[in-house]
């Protein structure tokens, strides 16, 4: 386990400025047919003529709309390094009411999620099939999941061996799936030590699970940081997280 220390602060502030400035191609709206209806995507294309890998970003329970530029920061960083990034909306219209904080409870939401993880993973795999069939695809694809999306990404990666790399921020593996896991790709988990929404123990459990079945796995913790710490526009740990995730995918997707 690696913990972030204060020495990263100055460099983090500089990297955050770079993340804001990084831009590649113009975002493109796409749709992929899947069970329970089409999956909407926003593609951030890399400025690169050759075939290239892709990373699918899976949002938290409130969707990309809660803080769109936080997700775009990752997409821009990835596309600037030659990786096509896709914001993937895996929830269906029927899922939406359960995640309305005005009408739903945490207990109701968690029970609903348990019953839906497999279906969401199938929708993500449908998108993987579509992306890998693109003429500009290198055949290498990764998943980047945040909170609920981290659970969906982990579930998908355990079931779909086409996933070449997995990055999870403050998420884990669905409890019902843990005993069934026989495969995981190289993975990295980032987690704030003060997270009371998804306890750091869930991230550590995912990493231990990966190592137990022979996968390369790394657990990085951020002292004093809470759930969604990387959505901050001023915390230098935001840039550290973006940089770590980008470098992880650069190395694992055989970009060079």
Q: Show the tokens assigned to 141.
A: 């694809």
- Report residue 244 as tokens: 């770590």
Place 25 in a pLDDT band, splitting at 50, 70 and 90: low
Position 7 pLDDT exceeds 80: no
Instruction: Judge whether 250 and 83 are in contact, CB under 8 Å.
Output: yes
Q: What is the pLDDT of residue 20?
A: 41
* Strand positions, DSSP E, the chain: 2-3, 28-32, 39-44, 52-58, 84-89, 137-146, 163-169, 187-192, 217-222
User: Which domains are assigned to the chain?
Assistant: 2-252 (3.40.50.1820)
Confidence of residue 256 (pLDDT cuts 50, 70, 90): low
In degrees and rounded to multiples of 5, residue 53 shows phi and psi of -75, 170
Distance of CA 141 to CAs 14, 129, 186, Å?
A: 29, 10, 12
* pTM of the predicted protein model: 0.91
* Residue 147, pLDDT above cutoff 50: yes
pLDDT in tens, 168-204: 999 999 999 999 999 999 999 999 999 999 999 999 9
| pLDDT of 17 higher than 60 | no
Residue 122 has pLDDT above 80, yes or no: yes
**pLDDT over threshold 90, residue 57:** yes
Distances (CA, A) of 130 to 30, 58, 72, 114, 184: 11, 16, 22, 26, 21
Whole-number percent of the chain with pLDDT over 90: 84
Sheet holding 163-169, edge to edge: 2-3, 217-222, 187-192, 163-169, 137-146, 52-58, 84-89, 39-44, 28-32
Q: What is the mean pLDDT of residues 152-157?
A: 98
Mean of the per-residue pLDDT values for the chain?
92
pLDDT, mean of residues 47-53: 90
pLDDT band per the 50, 70, 90 thresholds, residue 18? very low
pLDDT over 50 (residue 58): yes
Least confident of 5-19, 32-46, 136-150, 156-170: 5-19
Return the pLDDT at 47: 86
Tell me what pLDDT residue 103 has: 87
Give the pLDDT of residue 255.
67
Lowest mean pLDDT segment, chosen from 2-6, 30-34, 193-197, 212-216: 2-6
Share of the chain above pLDDT 70, in %: 90
């Amino acid at each position: 386990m690696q913990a972030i220390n204060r020495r990263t602060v100055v460099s983090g502030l500089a990297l955050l400025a770079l993340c804001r400035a990084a831009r590649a191609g113009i975002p493109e709206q796409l749709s992929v047919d899947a069970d329970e209806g089409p999956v909407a995507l926003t593609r951030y294309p890399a400025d690169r003529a050759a075939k290239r890998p892709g990373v699918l970003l899976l949002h938290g329970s409130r969707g990309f709309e809660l803080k769109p530029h936080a997700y775009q920061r990752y997409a821009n960083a990835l596309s600037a390094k030659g990786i096509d990034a896709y914001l993937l909306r895996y929830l269906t219209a029927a899922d939406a009411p359960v995640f309305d904080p005005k009408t739903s409870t945490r207990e109701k939401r968690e029970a609903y999620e348990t019953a839906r993880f497999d279906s969401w993973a199938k929708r993500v795999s449908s998108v993987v099939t579509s992306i890998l069939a693109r003429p500009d695809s290198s055949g290498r694809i990764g998943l980047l999941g945040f909170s609920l999306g981290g659970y969906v990404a982990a579930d998908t990666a355990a079931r779909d061996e086409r996933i070449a790399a997995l990055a999870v921020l403050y998420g884990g593996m669905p409890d019902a799936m843990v005993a069934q896991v026989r495969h995981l790709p190289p993975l990295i988990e980032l987690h704030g030590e003060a997270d009371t929404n998804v306890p750091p123990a869930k991230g550590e459990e995912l990493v231990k699970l990966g190592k137990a079945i022979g996968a390369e796995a790394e657990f990085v913790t951020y002292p004093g940081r809470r759930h969604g710490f990387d959505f901050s526009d001023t915390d230098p740990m935001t840039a550290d997280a973006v940089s770590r995730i980008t470098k992880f995918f650069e190395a694992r997707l055989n970009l060079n």
